[in-house]
């Protein structure tokens, strides 16, 4: 059910984007991981992406893409919203969420101001995607 809600939210977001470009549209070219290092810096207030660094104020983001939200082992501070969301983190989902953090997972403990620029989000996601087992 929640997956469905999230999907509807995403689709309506996509609809809004089509009707009214380009504010929150995903970037149309691949992200630059080198530039993404600096864009990701604010996230380090709470998250480490590096393998073995462990959890910080927020959960580790190592290997986040493809992972079910709220399932990093050993992190004790997930909100009920995140734990019960049944969402799988994908680049597209993270892009939509970073563009408008209020759009889904309302009730998460993660509070930040969002990343309005699509290029910034694409670069951040490209940077984050590097942190995974190969």
Contact between 25 and other proteins (CB under 8 A)? no
Q: Provide the CA 36 distance to its chain's centre, in angstroms.
A: 14
From 15, 22, 30, 54, residue interacting with other proteins (rule: CB under 8 A): 54
From 114, 119, 129, 132, residue interacting with other proteins (rule: CB under 8 A): 114
* Binding segment (CB under 8 A) for other proteins, from list 6-14, 61-69, 85-93, 108-116: 108-116
For residue 19, give both structure tokens: 């009707």
Site for other proteins in 67-96 (CB under 8 A): 77, 81
Q: Residue 34 CB, nearest distance to other proteins (Å)?
A: 8
Site for other proteins in 27-46 (CB under 8 A): 37-39, 41-46
Percent helix, strand, coil in the chain, to 5, is 40, 0, 55
H/E/C letters for each residue in 71-119? CCCCCCCCCHHHHCCCCECCHHHHHHHHHCCCCCCCCCCCCCCCCCCHH
- Sign of torsion over alpha carbons 116, 109, 93, 8: negative
Name residue, tokens 């999907």: 7
Contact between 102 and other proteins (CB under 8 A)? yes
Residues that bind other proteins (CB under 8 A): 37-39, 41-46, 48, 50, 53-57, 77, 81, 100-103, 105-114, 116
């Amino acid at each position: 059910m929640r997956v469905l809600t999230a999907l509807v939210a995403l689709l309506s977001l996509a609809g809004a984007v089509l009707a009214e470009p380009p504010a929150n549209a995903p970037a149309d070219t691949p992200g630059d991981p080198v530039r993404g290092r600096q864009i990701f810096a604010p996230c380090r207030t709470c998250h480490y992406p590096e393998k073995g660094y462990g959890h910080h104020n927020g959960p580790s983001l190592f290997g986040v893409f493809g992972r079910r939200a709220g399932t990093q082992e050993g992190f004790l501070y997930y909100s009920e919203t995140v734990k019960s969301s049944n969402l799988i983190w994908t680049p597209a989902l993270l892009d939509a969420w970073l563009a408008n953090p209020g759009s889904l997972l309302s009730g998460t403990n993660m509070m930040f101001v969002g990343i309005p620029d699509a290029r910034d989000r694409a670069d951040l996601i490209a940077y984050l995607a590097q942190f995974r087992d190969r």
